[in-house]
Homo-oligomer: A and B are copies of this chain.
Amino acid sequence: MPSTTYIALLGPGLVGRAVLAQLASLPQFRVVAVANSTRMVLSSSDITADALKTDAAVPLAYGHLADHVSSYPGAAAIIDCTASDAPAHWYAAWLARGISVVTPNKKAFAGDAARYAAIRASARAPTGLSTRKDAGLLFHESTVGAGLPLLCTIKDLVATGDVIESVEGVLSGTLSYLFNEYCAPGNARGFAAIVETAKGLGYTEPDPRDDLNGLDVARKVVILARAAGLASLTLEDVEVENIVPASLRDVASADVFLKELPKFDAEFAARKAAAAAKGAVLRYVGRVELGTGKATVKVAEAGAGHPLAGLGGADNMVVIKTKRFPRGVGHSGRGSRGRGDGVWRGGGCVARAPHACV
C-alpha cells in the first residue's frame, strides 16, 4: 500500500476538473486544497472544485496554500492547471521545500529562461537511483506531445549519457490535421476549406489564426529544446513561419479571416504542387538542432519514406535523433481528438505525470 500524496489543485477548469475526477478514483491521492485565480479552499478531507463556491473559500494566498499541502505526513504536490503565468513564479520555491509540481501549463517551460533555470535547478535531479531526496519532483509531460512519453524519454536519454542531436516533429494536432488532409492522396479541396472543416470539428482555436501563426508550436519547440539541454533557448530564438497571410493578420474577426482565406488557396496549392512534384507532402514541422541551437517552425516537405510523411489524422509525431540512435527514435500518438474531453488539451496526461519518469 503506497503512502498518501497530498494535492493542491490550481485552476479547476476543463482540464483541472478532469484531473480531479481521475484523482478521486486513486486512493493514494488526497486533494486537500483547490484554488482559482482569486480564491482557495483548504481542507483536511478530500475537496472538490465546487467548494470554491461555498463559504469555505478564502482569498488566494500561495504561501499559505503551500504551507497547508506540506503540513501532512506524506508527499505533497501542487498541480497547476491554470493558463496563468502567476503560479510559475512560485514553482522554484515549492520544489525547493519538497513540494512536487505537476502541470500542463507551458508558461514556465517556454517563458523566461532565467526563471526556467531556477525552477529546473530547484527540482529533484533527474536520476532514478541517486537523487536530491529533499527536493520536489517536476512533471510537465503534457505541455508537449499530446500524451506521448516524450519529455521523459528525452530526459532519460540525456541522464544516461546519450547526446540529443535533433528533435523534430509535428507538434500540433490542429496543424497535423490540416496538412494531412490537404496533402492526402486525391484531395481536391483548397486549404481554406480544410481550415473551415477543422474549425467546425472543434480542432482549431476559436480564431484559427491562433493555430496558424505557429506560436503554440514554437513554444513546444522551446520546451523540447530545453528538456534536451538548451536551457537558455527562448521563444525569440525560434524562427517561425506564420502561415496566416500577412494581409489577414490584423483583420478584426475570425469570421472575416475565414471568409478571406480562400483568396490564398492558390498560394498554398503552388507549394503543395511543388512538393508533390518531388514525391513529397507538406507538413508543419517544429525542429531544433542541439549542436547549433537552430530552432525553426515552418511548412516543410516530407519525402516518401520520411516518418512525417506517414502521419495521418490529427496525430503528433516526433523523431528524436541521438548519438546512440542516429536514425531517430520515432513517436506518433493520438489522444482523443475533440476538445473538452480533458485529453487532447493535456489533461489526460496530468494525472499520469506524478508517476512518469523525471
A37 in the interface (beta carbon within 8 A): no
A interface majority secondary structure: loop
Q: Is the CB of A327 within 8 A of B332?
A: no
Q: Is the CB of B351 within 8 A of A161?
A: yes
Distance of A110 from chain B, by nearest CB (Å): 23
Q: Which of A241-249, A273-281, A333-341 contacts B (4 or more CB under 8 A)?
A: A333-341
- In A9-59, the 8 Å CB interface with B consists of 22, 25-26, 28
Instruction: Give the distance in Å from the alpha carbon of A137 to the alpha carbon of B129 in the complex.
Output: 8
For A334, give its contact among B329, B357, B358 (CB under 8 Å). B329
Distance of A334 from chain B, by nearest CB (Å): 5
Interface string of A139-152 (1 = CB under 8 A from B): 00000000111001
A63 in the interface (beta carbon within 8 A): no
Q: Is the CB of A22 within 8 A of B149?
A: no
- In A111-146, the 8 Å CB interface with B consists of 125-131, 137
Q: Is the CB of A128 within 8 A of B355?
A: yes
For A335, give its contact among B325, B331, B356 (CB under 8 Å). B325
A105 in the interface (beta carbon within 8 A): no
Select the residue from A4, A137, A148, A153 with max chain B CB neighbours within 10 A. Answer: A153
Q: Is the CB of B333 within 8 A of A157?
A: no
Q: Which residue of B lies closest to A162 (CB)?
A: B352
Instruction: Give the distance in Å from the alpha carbon of A332 to the alpha carbon of B309 in the complex.
Output: 14
Q: Is the CB of B336 within 8 A of A326?
A: yes
- In A311-358, the 8 Å CB interface with B consists of 312, 315, 324-337, 343, 348, 351-352, 354-358
Query: What 6 A-B pairs have minimum CB-CB distances, sorted nearest first?
Result: A357-B357, A3-B130, A2-B130, A310-B310, A75-B129, A128-B355
Q: A148-B331, A161-B351 are in contact. List 10 more A-B contacts (CB 8 A).
A: A2-B127, A4-B130, A28-B127, A129-B354, A149-B156, A159-B355, A324-B343, A324-B348, A327-B337, A330-B334
